[in-house]
Amino acid sequence: MKRLIDTFRNIWSIQELRDKILLTLGLLLVYRLGSNVVLPGIDPTSLTNLQSQASEGLIGILNAFSGGAFANASVLALGIMPYISASILLQLLGLAVPSIQKMQKDGESGRRKLNQITRYVTIAVALLQAPGYITNLMYQGVGLTLPTSTFWTLALITLTAGTIFAMWLGERITDKGIGNGISLLIMIGIIAQLPQSFLQEYVKQVSEAGGGIVVFLLELVALYLVILFAIAITQAVRQVPLEYAKRVAGASGNSAPRSIGRSYLPIRVNTAGVMPIIFAQALMFIPITVLQYSGAGTDTMPWLVDIFGNIQGFWYNFIFAALILVFTFFYTAIQFNTSQIAEDLRRSGGFVPGVKPGADTAEYLDQILSRITLPGAIALAFLAILPSLANIANLTPQWANFYGGTSLLIMVGVILDTLMQVESYLLNSHYDGLMEGSRMKGRSTNAN
């Protein structure tokens, strides 16, 4: 406890770090307050059906990411998701569009251009998603205090402006605060659901129909173990040894013999992060969503409902896990281009000991990447279906979401990244880090 208090005291004593943390907390507070501001023209007492819809399924996931703003018909109902969609779209386009590929390789100037394009694409995505959200409000019977045409116009403008504002908050946190702003906005929305979910599960277990306080404590122990498992997946890294040839000029101006410096190329077990789960989850909800909004009704294709409508069923989770395996390899290949890395190593004078530079190095890295991605993909798929297993164990749906899947991985990843930034400030100011030994797993330890 004393060490923890000393750590907080050290954090507070670093003025730059203190200012960044206070700014970050202030902007996150603004985002949370905005999540409870209802769209103009909506009767707040008529949101019962919308809130019921947002308690499960794909809508429940979107509501969790927005911190309940979706179910509140808030001005920030679309949240930061249009920005995430725009970023993913540009990443995928980078595989086929040469101009985007060039910007991705142009360093800081290319990054600024891509950020600007991402902002414009975000606005376009928000303008496309806003009508769908408004239509869903009408479908759920939300009461209006304005004429329908007026409400549509105001809601379309407000929802788009809300997304732009959320994007601006995230960028300000990244530039002036601590941590990745966009990720923090998503995380704070997920965490906002935690107290209510915790309380609901506690009340359920201590009631006469529940299992008692012992069962609830066992659930907390299980959650702790799942969190440790998620941290292990997030931090696990395989280091490939590299060597760099460095020529040192002699006194006569001639090149001296090469001196070899040892370094490592870190390859993560889970390079794709949470994206495979997001892609797979989106695909799993498409059949039922199309069936519902097509007017055909769920009775016309009962087999489809049995497979894709039962999130606790065997086939749903089997297909879900298989999609995660596929998307993990796909997204890893996008994030970790072995041919490009091999070429960069060759140009910089680096090489893998015992492997020829160029194509042989790319093939070698590809083999290693495939071998460590497979167990990572299996672990990710297992973590993704844990909420369904928790539902089968009779946990409340909201509480079960914290036992794995997208929510848990986002929270663990964002918290670790933010703590690593804080630790960097502490170590640079000659204070002990946040973790024992002043080293947190996942920090860069490479040295040329």
| Domain residue ranges of the chain, discontinuous segments joined by + | 12-191, 193-448
- What Rg do the C-alpha atoms of the chain give, in angstroms? 25
- pLDDT the model gives residue 334: 80
Amino acid making up residue 294: S
Please report which confidence band the pLDDT of residue 445 belongs to, taking 50, 70 and 90 as the band edges: very low
**How far, in Å, are 68, 203, 225, 389 from residue 213 at the CA level?**
28, 10, 19, 21
CA pair distance 141, 327, nearest whole angstrom: 37
Task: State how far Cα 369 lies from the chain centre.
Answer: 22
- CA atoms within 13 A of residue 226's CA, in its CB half-sphere: 26
Highest mean pLDDT among 53-67, 162-176, 181-195: 162-176
As a whole-number percent, the residues of the chain with pLDDT over 90 amount to 24
Highest mean pLDDT among 5-9, 165-169, 178-182: 165-169
* 149, 124 contact by CB (below 8 A): no
Handedness of CA 119, 122, 127, 128 (dihedral sign): positive
Non-local (6+) Cβ contacts of 40 within 8 A are 146, 151, 154, 155, 158
* Topology agreement, domain 12-191 and domain 193-448: yes
Q: Is residue 351 classed as helix, strand or coil in its secondary structure? A: strand
Give me the sheet containing 259-268, strands edge to edge. 259-268, 237-246, 350-351
User: Which two structure tokens, joined as six digits, stand for 93?
Assistant: 């386009």
Average pLDDT, the chain: 82
What number is the average pLDDT over the span 147-151? 90
Non-local (6+) Cβ contacts of 427 within 8 A are 433, 438
- pLDDT the model gives residue 433: 60
Please report which confidence band the pLDDT of residue 155 belongs to, taking 50, 70 and 90 as the band edges: very high
In 3-state terms the chain splits into helix, strand, coil percentages (rounded to 5) of 70, 5, 25
**How far, in Å, are 279, 301, 306 from residue 292 at the CA level?**
21, 11, 14
Whole-model pTM? 0.80
Question: Of 162, 188, 183, which is closest to residue 171 (Cα–Cα)?
Answer: 183
Q: Is residue 312 classed as helix, strand or coil in its secondary structure? A: coil
**CATH number, domain 193-448:** 1.10.3370.10
Question: Between residues 193 and 429, which one has the greater pLDDT?
Answer: 193
Non-local (6+) Cβ contacts of 388 within 8 A are 311, 312, 316, 317, 400
**How far, in Å, are 58, 87, 153, 310 from residue 127 at the CA level?**
20, 16, 12, 32
Q: Is residue 55 classed as helix, strand or coil in its secondary structure? A: coil
What number is the average pLDDT over the span 283-293? 72
CA pair distance 109, 277, nearest whole angstrom: 32
Helix (H) or strand (E) holding 229: helix 213-235
Domain 12-191, classified CATH 1.10.3370.10, yes or no: yes
* 442, 235 contact by CB (below 8 A): yes
Question: Between residues 288 and 73, which one has the greater pLDDT?
Answer: 73
Q: How large is the greatest C-alpha to C-alpha distance in the chain, in angstroms?
A: 89
CA pair distance 65, 274, nearest whole angstrom: 13
Please report which confidence band the pLDDT of residue 446 belongs to, taking 50, 70 and 90 as the band edges: very low
Res 157 pLDDT > 90 = yes
Question: Between residues 259 and 38, which one has the greater pLDDT?
Answer: 38
Please report which confidence band the pLDDT of residue 199 belongs to, taking 50, 70 and 90 as the band edges: very high
